[in-house]
A and B are shown apart, each in its own frame.
Chain A
Amino acid sequence: MKNMNVLPWSSIVGQTQLKNALMMSYIEPRISGVLVSGERGAGKSTIVRAFARMVSGTLPVTLPINATEDRVVGGWDVGELLKSVPRWKPGLLEEANGRMLYVDEVNLLDDHIVNIILDVTASGLLRVERESQTRESRVRFTLVGTMNPEEGTLRPQLLDRFGLMVDVRGLGDTGQRRAVLDTVMRSAAGIDDGALAKDEAMRVELEDAKERAAAMSVPEPVLEGCVALAQRFQADGHRGDVTLALASRALAALQNSNRVTRDHLCSVAALVLQHRRKMPGQRELLPWSTEDDASVAETLSDVRA
């Protein structure tokens, strides 16, 4: 349906896990992004846009799936060039510096654009060598992508760049679905219900949580738990370990806890590990299962924190 207006964040019904993931990535930017995977009509894009507007007052920098390379990394301003004025036009990656870079239908993105994003997220450096120009700039952004898994999954390298992954499902609860209809219709009719004021209060809370997270240390047993989990689920490299720790701390700050505990680690395990597990070649991601939850609990059973 037409997204004539971006719904206020406070009006979003359900989808608690996705909401938490987005808030954690804001509290701890080093988590570096959220991948939202889910079936059609589950409200993925709506929620991401609502979040961006809540935290920054504007919509996120959006990378369309048909963007050309010059607009991603930057290139000559063709209009000015035609007036014999050579002027460089920064690309979307520079525009997203310090902000959220949002890719709707990220699994439909051209592979060569994906490669560019991989390079930049890996190094934090955007280096452009094209059209007789050499340019370098430091860029860091929170990558948020939404995708419908019916259209295929992402390459493991790109999956790994998303700190967290949320598997969104449609709302099964009748009451929640009714609430969604009610919310959308009221919003379309211009009825506010004080949601924007609640959004502002939430933004202030998130800023406080950000400060708390920065001052919070992660206990040694929890760190050991992070490593044990990453090993148990055969996550390649160290990004999984690090993200587990960062996400646990962000969740603790979000919940206004004064320390990071095993429970926080348990809560973020699925978000961090489901897209980093070993998968059969060329297969879509398997959903996180109750067996996986049991594995997490078993692995962390000795953690005392």
Chain B
Amino acid sequence: MRQSPKHFPMSVPDLERLIDCVAVSSALDGLLVYGASGSQLESLADRLARGLLQAGAEAVDRVWLGAAESEDLLWGVADLPQGWNGRGLLVPPPNTTRIVIVPDLARLSLAAARAGVTMLGASHVRIERRGRSSVVPVHHRWIASLPDATGSSVSRHLVDRFPVRIRMPVRPIVSRLDILREALTHPEQRALPGPSQGVRERGGARIVTDEAIEQTMSCMASNVSGNVRESLALLEVAKALALLDAKPSVDANTVREAARLLDLGKQSDRDEAAADSAGASATPSSLGASADFTRPDPMLVTPVDECGASNTEPNVRLATAGDALLGTDSQIDGADAPAGASPQAETLPPHEYASLRMPWRLAQVASSGRGTIIGTRRAETTRDLAIVDTLFAAAPMQSLRRAALEQPPTDIILRRSDLRSYRRVPLATELFVLVIDYTSVVDREWLDSLIPFLRHAYAARAKVCVIKVGAKDATNPLRAERVLARNVLVPGIAALLDAPAGSATPLADGLSLALQAIQQSFGHGRVAARRATLVVVTDGRGNVTLKASREGCLTERVGRQGIEDARSVARDLRALTHTKRVLINPGPTLLRDLPLALAAALDAEIVRVTDHHG
């Protein structure tokens, strides 16, 4: 769903209310906070932990997930003797609710991201790993942060799994002395109250009235995607608010209040809800001292259908108890705040294709992500142990060892010589991407310029991705096509270098496919490529727009848009690190500026075939 940017006056009390909603409603199991720092997330988790306990959780613990968590670490290895196996970061002890903190969703390991998609919104999760088969109930709350600048690199699929998505309130201007005093305060003294003790006793489902559903429909009227998940999230927040406020049912006003918290629906409704909640001191979770805490937003855009004045001046006040929730990160200030689009409704820009999939290179790779298992061998270290083979090696000696050590008959005794580790196929760490614009090629001389790069790719055992632009055999001439190969020796690669040209030149689409291929190969865990070489063979004359390539048909005149789109994608490619970029201009061209401009956009080394031969 796409909505115009709106002002989002999230205040600390509002944030606390939302966290309390997450605490009392198991349906709201994910909270995504745009722009929150690690310490701020920890403060949020503190508040949430108290809320969970007051809402009836027997115990609450927390784990942090980052870029390195593997499947085994997440799900544990069951059935091994005590001390060998962790339960897994996502498998809490019985009767314990686990808060899963993700400081940067964009850097979350692939395994953890896939776990998030599996767990968020589910009541149970099935674990089928390493001999273990179990169905465990999900007692989690995920709190994640997503730096605004990295939003585009996160799977929208994963983001959509978080039912509550908000922006972190901007910290007010406070004196350094106050920050220092606050930092020296004992954490227990800083502790913020959670929802009131009465929540546990009030428990039970709230009745959702017809008016509440009508109001939800009204708030989500601009949602034309048909995705009902956001509507349900709004209703769940409303139910949680009713529970917190000891209301017997969810009425339209409660939905309006929920919509205001989530920055959904019409401005007039949100204003009305804000007025209703002005006496928020009556609510069990509010902190009166932290009212009037609007975010200064110099980029404020007021939609034409909105009414009411907006305050673009920063509010200046001293820190209050509520600021503990905001942490003490001095780098957060109003100037850093992005335009206030509703995070709940936000549609992220086009992102890395297929980001939750195992990278394509894993077609030959086992799930552990370190190369195909081709056997086992005696272990020299404790890394990548082959557990079953280790147990098999140890099993025959058990009765002797138990007798010698007088151990109980159920214990298994391992010695260093028993340990086995996997033998795996080595993985390539380099990617060679070749974009060939066949319509720019007039003879075979450009191949001489390519040979050094092919030699390097061969020596580096690089994976190969060839992108065909304007080939005669293209299924749709408006689209580029991508061919993947294990290395440059795959026979099909030679044929690709010599394919006949078609009529259209979807150069922007070809560069876009190159961008996706490199992002994919870099993005995921220990098997990711470390370096990439991108060679683009073109004269820069794209004559198909990116839009036409994506839709597969031409609906409007192209003009220069094909060239501009190609340059735009080239600039995205320039932003990639660890990537060498080369542009080969394959022949005499009447428009000498085009390849130069494209090379500049790419920040690429340029090789002119005519220079080589002339």
Is the interface on chain A under 10, 10 to 19, 20 to 34, or 35 or more residues?
A: 35 or more
Q: Which of A150-195 contact B (CB under 8 A)?
A: 150-152, 169-172, 174, 177-178, 180-182, 184-185, 188-190
Q: Which of A112-143 contact B (CB under 8 A)?
A: 112-113, 131-132
In the complex, which residues of chain B have a beta carbon less than 8 angstroms from the beta carbon of A40?
156-157, 160, 227, 229
Query: With A151-B357, A282-B481 given, is the CB distance from A104 to B27 under 8 Å?
Result: no
Which stretch, A25-33, A73-81, A206-214, A248-256, touches the partner chain B? A73-81
Which stretch, A61-69, A220-228, A297-305, touches the partner chain B? A61-69
A148 touches B228 (CB 8 A): no
* Minimum distance in angstroms from A177 CB to a CB of chain B: 6
Nearest B residue (CB) for A43? B228
Asked if B354 is at the interface (CB within 8 A of a chain A CB), the reply is yes
Interface centre among B27, B80, B367, B372 (most CB of A within 10 A): B367
Query: With A1-B233, A181-B216 given, is the CB distance from A170 to B131 under 8 Å?
Result: no
Query: With A152-B357, A282-B482, A282-B483 given, is the CB distance from A82 to B81 under 8 Å?
Result: yes
B75 touches A66 (CB 8 A): yes
Interface centre among A68, A132, A188, A286 (most CB of B within 10 A): A68
Interface residue count on the B side (C-beta < 8 Å): 81
In the complex, which residues of chain A have a beta carbon less than 8 angstroms from the beta carbon of B217?
174, 177-178, 181
Asked if A2 is at the interface (CB within 8 A of a chain B CB), the reply is yes
Nearest A residue (CB) for B468? A281
Query: With A75-B388, A152-B354 given, is the CB distance from A177 to B126 under 8 Å?
Result: no
Asked if B121 is at the interface (CB within 8 A of a chain A CB), the reply is yes
Asked if A232 is at the interface (CB within 8 A of a chain B CB), the reply is no
Interface centre among A43, A77, A151 (most CB of B within 10 A): A151
In the complex, which residues of chain B have a beta carbon less than 8 angstroms from the beta carbon of A67?
128-129
A72 touches B367 (CB 8 A): no
B225 touches A151 (CB 8 A): no
Closest 4 A/B residue pairs (Cβ): A170-B226, A41-B227, A152-B354, A41-B229
Asked if A92 is at the interface (CB within 8 A of a chain B CB), the reply is yes
Asked if A215 is at the interface (CB within 8 A of a chain B CB), the reply is no
Q: Say which residue of B26, B130, B156, B213 sits within 8 Å of A2 (CB atoms).
A: B26
List A residues at the B interface (Cβ < 8 Å). 1-4, 39-43, 62-72, 75-79, 81-84, 89, 92, 104-105, 107-108, 110-113, 131-132, 148, 150-152, 169-172, 174, 177-178, 180-182, 184-185, 188-190, 278-283, 286
A66 touches B71 (CB 8 A): yes
Asked if B46 is at the interface (CB within 8 A of a chain A CB), the reply is no
For the complex with contacts A65-B118, A81-B388, 7 further pairs of A-B residues with Cβ separation under 8 Å are: A1-B163, A4-B26, A42-B226, A107-B357, A112-B365, A169-B226, A181-B213
Docked pose: A63 CA to B78 CA in angstroms: 18
* Minimum distance in angstroms from B133 CB to a CB of chain A: 6
In the complex, which residues of chain B have a beta carbon less than 8 angstroms from the beta carbon of A281?
475, 481-483
Which stretch, B109-117, B429-437, B557-565, touches the partner chain A? B109-117
B367 touches A81 (CB 8 A): no
Query: With A40-B160, A82-B79, A92-B128 given, is the CB distance from A189 to B391 under 8 Å?
Result: no
- Interface 0/1 of B194-214, CB less than 8 Å to A: 000000000001011000011
Nearest B residue (CB) for A110? B367
Interface centre among A71, A92, A282, A283 (most CB of B within 10 A): A282
10 chain-A/chain-B pairs, Cβ below 8 angstroms? A41-B227, A66-B367, A70-B388, A89-B131, A108-B358, A151-B356, A189-B207, A280-B474, A281-B475, A281-B482
Query: With A75-B131, A152-B353 given, is the CB distance from A1 to B114 under 8 Å?
Result: no
